[in-house]
Structure 1
């Protein structure tokens, strides 16, 4: 019975001493989170009205969010009575150890900063990097998110992006679509070029400048190959590619121009 009273008294003393601090810390955390949320919302609106690049907007907002949340945690901890100076020293020592263990993450952070400074790509650009082709959806502090042509989400670390090769298909505003069409050796080259060029010029998504081209590219074993090369906007690439392949086949058939293919000849033995 006496032990229970001791525990009860200790519980009351703890509640009296630390209860207000805990409640205060919880209240500060709730209010602080609300303030940070609305502050970030205001910053987004302010940047949207300005001339800030969309990629830079999101990157800076992410940075500000991390900084404000870290500050809120420090305030909450100090409210609980923890010595912030001692806590900062502990965090510094732990940060050094964690930093050594997470050198890759620091490299990705530095890569994100470099991407924001030099802008090799922006949100919405179609890029190819690290074996991934996709449109840039988001540039975050540590990673860049791409949407592939198969509508898959690819997350690539900023460190390797900043230090690797990047092909940006959007920067110049136009792309060349490369296809090869083969016809038989007995077909007229000039007629074939005219038929294939007509397919390109009649496609509304093919750009007039640079002009599309059709040229003999190879004298293969069983066909004369033509390099069919229209230009289009990056977002129209696959549409132009597929329509070009289909259109060339239909146009050649209509013109009576043969597309060579392997023939199987059956030999019947007479008994």
Structure 2
């Protein structure tokens, strides 16, 4: 059979030209689409980072969602250029996404909880919190977990789903805290003198705030002691140093000025046997 280029061109020329145009169009569409995806992701990241209540991790997460969402739409459009049924492809992609989502329910739940934590900010880096029965300083917050360092420097990783579903106590949530300390004195001691000693120690400590005014009153008559409660306001960072210093200073002052702190003891009474 004699090779006839003209006959081949007459028969397949239109298909070759259309195919070449489709390939060129698909390449151009893919390049432009990927550039648009990158540009939109950059815009989303920049705008999110400008907001004080949006963490950088969350900004990157939103930017990634935009980039991959636009990229997926561009890829589907490229398939459409070649005549591949887009509806069928979208259905397959949807089914695949559903299957992945069902198999990763826990991970996706932690991601959603991580987004909520970063948006609503119940705690932030450096805060001392109590969550899921664990207390410590927040060292890291990512999309999957919150990392806490306990006071004895143990590293605890809490899934965000557990953190957001439970009760969160943020000891650093406000700039000031109230420090409550109860001192018990003997019934034979002068409680007015004890109160005067406590007020003198409080007045000498500049870390204790004057407003609200410190509260020092007798609050309970116990089985073996008269209980005097001190309620002191201070900066959150001074809470523990003030509490420890108060315990030490009050003990020394009470010992020096003859105020006794009772402790549990047992009295044995002997009775003579009946005749």
TM category (shorter chain) comes to 0.5 to 0.7
TM-score normalised to structure 2 length: 0.64
Match of 2:134 in 1: 132
Q: CA deviation at 1:58?
A: 3.2
Superposed, which structure 2 residues align to 1:48-197 within 5 Å?
Answer: 50=50, 52-53=52-53, 56-61=55-60, 64=63, 93=95, 95-197=97-199
CA separation of 1:210 and 1:152: change in aligned 2, threshold 3 A: farther
- CA deviations on 1:35-71 (whole Å, 9 max, x unpaired) are x9xx99xx79x94xx5534x61233235546887999
SS in 1 for 2:135: strand
SS in 2 for 1:197: helix
Q: Which moved more, 1:87-96 or 1:189-198?
A: 87-96
User: Are 2:57 and 2:143, in contact at CA under 8 Å, matched by a contact in 1?
Assistant: no
Give, in whole Å, the separation in 1 of the partners of 2:94 and 2:255. 74
- CA deviations on 1:62-92 (whole Å, 9 max, x unpaired) are 55468879999xxxxxxxxxxxx99998776
User: Are 1:134 and 1:149, in contact at CA under 8 Å, matched by a contact in 2?
Assistant: yes
Q: CA deviation at 1:126?
A: 2.4
User: Are 1:126 and 1:234, in contact at CA under 8 Å, matched by a contact in 2?
Assistant: no
Larger radius of gyration: 2
CA separation of 1:61 and 1:236: change in aligned 2, threshold 3 A: farther
Q: CA deviation at 1:240?
A: 1.5
CA separation of 1:111 and 1:260: change in aligned 2, threshold 3 A: same
- CA deviations on 1:106-147 (whole Å, 9 max, x unpaired) are 221111122223222222222222212222222211212222
Match of 1:224 in 2: 226
The number of residues matched between the two structures is: 218
Q: What's the Cα RMSD here?
A: 3.8
User: Are 1:205 and 1:232, in contact at CA under 8 Å, matched by a contact in 2?
Assistant: yes
Match of 1:242 in 2: 244
User: Are 2:110 and 2:144, in contact at CA under 8 Å, matched by a contact in 1?
Assistant: yes
User: Are 1:201 and 1:212, in contact at CA under 8 Å, matched by a contact in 2?
Assistant: no
Gap regions ≥5 residues in structure 2: 1-37, 72-85, 270-275
